Structure 1
Amino acid sequence: MGILQNLLFTICIALRCVTSAVGVIHVTGYVGREVNVSCSYDEGYESYEKYLCKNDCGDSDVLVTTSESRKNKYRINDDKTARIFTTTISDLHSEDAGKYWCGVTRTGKDIYTEVELKLAQDSCCDTVTKIESYEGFSESIVCPYESRYQNNPKYICRGNRPSTCLQQALITSDNKQNGRFRLDDDKLLGTFTVNISSLTKNDSGSYLCGVKRNSELDVFSAVELKVKEWCCVKSTKVTGTAGHPLTLQCPYPSQNQNNRKFLCKGDHRNSCRDMAMIESRLTLRDDIYSNSFSVTITKIQADDAGTYWCGSDSQWRVGNHVKIQLSVVSPQHTSTVPSTMEIPGKTTTHNKTTTQNRPNKDAGQYVVYAVPAVLLLLICALVVTVYQCKHQKVKDGKAVMNRNAENEEGLEEVTAGAENNIYGNEEVVRYKQQSACNNYDDAGEDEPDYENFTTSEEVYCNENFHRR
Structure 2
Amino acid sequence: MVNIGETANFSCEYLQNHINNPKIIFKEEKDSIETIYSKWKKKERFSISDDKHKKIFSVRITAVTPDDGGVYLCGVWISGDSYSYSIINTIHLHVMMPPVVRHEGESAEIICSYDSIYKSKPKSLCKGKCSTRDRNPLSETVREEKETKTDRLTLKDDVTASVFTGSITALTAEDAGKYWCAVTLETELNYLYTHLIVIMNEELNLTKYEGDDVSIQCRHHDEDQKRFCKAHEASMCVKDGVSLETIRDDRFSFSDEASTGVFTVNITDLREEDSGIYWCGAHVTTKVLLNVKTGTIT
Please classify the TM superposition score into its range, dividing by the shorter chain length.
0.3 to 0.5
Q: Which has the higher contact order (CA 8 A, sep 6+)?
A: 2
Give the strand-richer structure, 1 or 2: 2
Larger Rg: 1
Alignment TM-score, normalising by the size of structure 2: 0.41
Greater helix percent: which structure?
A: 1
